[in-house]
Structure 1
Amino acid sequence: MNSAGFPPETVPLQGKYEGFHGQPGGSAGVQYTTVSVPPEPPRDHIIWSLGSFFYSNPCCCLGLAALIYSIKARDRKVIGDMEGAQRYGSTARCLNIWATVLVSIMVLIVFIAAYMY
């Protein structure tokens, strides 16, 4: 009897019951699902390079060089040369870092010099 006081109902199984996979009496095959995720394309840092070009160009033209390498990286990515795109993108990133650091130091020196007077 269940909690309501009625006898339990029995429902016959439809078809043949094979048990759980891997258990005795069941099938021993195991199914795997493989998900292939394409690798993320290399970054070209074009926006950062444009900012460096417009704001950091007095620093030995590092902004212009970074912009050129970013465009080369984007071109390589379009034609499918991911290794070349990664190489050019990495160079653009390094040039952007140098340009940003140098401009930051120059701005800091200008503020300090203005504060001293």
Structure 2
Amino acid sequence: MVEEEHKVAVLRPPYAAPMQSAVINICSGDTSVPDHIIWSLFNTLFLNWCCLGFMAYAYSVKSRDRKMVGDMIGAQSYGSTARCLNICALVVGLFLTIGLIVLIATGTVMSSHALSQMMRRNGN
């Protein structure tokens, strides 16, 4: 009977084990303030009408520099300015690119139409 009591005692869960918890503080750091540098670089390389893309890239670099120094308010200010300039550069760039394509297409159609009319006049 002593063996059976020993087995039962081993199988019971311990009731007096204290619960322990750990608190981990994660500092968000660089991820809380976006600098939009990739978007600015894209606008600088591809949609740089009126130099808005280059200006956005300059503000993005300033925002990244402010983050490195630890000035999160300045980084946020430069980052939001870079975002606004990127939006303006994208909108202006798309409108001017589409306008240029439409202008070239209509110019080609008009010149071919004028050329065909000139050929008909010379043929008569």
TM-score (normalised: structure 1): 0.68
Alignment pair present for 1:112 and 2:102: yes
Structure 1 segments, 4+ long, off by >4 Å, are none
Structure 2: tracts of 5 or more residues without a match: 110-124
Alignment pair present for 1:36 and 2:32: no
Matched pairs, number: 101
Task: Give the aligned residue type for 2:79.
Answer: G
Structure 1 counterpart of 2:45: 54
Structure 2 counterpart of 1:23: none
**Which of 59, 65, 76 lines up with 1:69 in the alignment?**
59
Q: 8 Å contact 2:49–2:92 — kept in the other structure?
A: no
Tell me the percent identity: 40
**Take 2:29 and 2:87, find their aligned partners in 1: how far apart are those partners?**
22
Q: 8 Å contact 2:52–2:85 — kept in the other structure?
A: yes
Task: Give the aligned residue type for 1:65.
Answer: M
**Which of 84, 89, 103 lines up with 2:93 in the alignment?**
103
**Take 1:9 and 1:109, find their aligned partners in 2: how far apart are those partners?**
91
Structure 2 counterpart of 1:11: 7
Shift of 1:12: 4.3
Task: Give the aligned residue type for 1:52.
Answer: N
**Take 1:72 and 1:46, find their aligned partners in 2: how far apart are those partners?**
10
Structure 2 counterpart of 1:4: none
Structure 1: tracts of 5 or more residues without a match: 1-7, 20-25
TM-score (normalised: structure 2): 0.65
- Higher gyration radius (CA): 2
- Worse-matched range after superposition: 77-86 or 37-46: 37-46
**Take 1:73 and 1:65, find their aligned partners in 2: how far apart are those partners?**
12
Structure having the larger proportion of residues in helix? 2
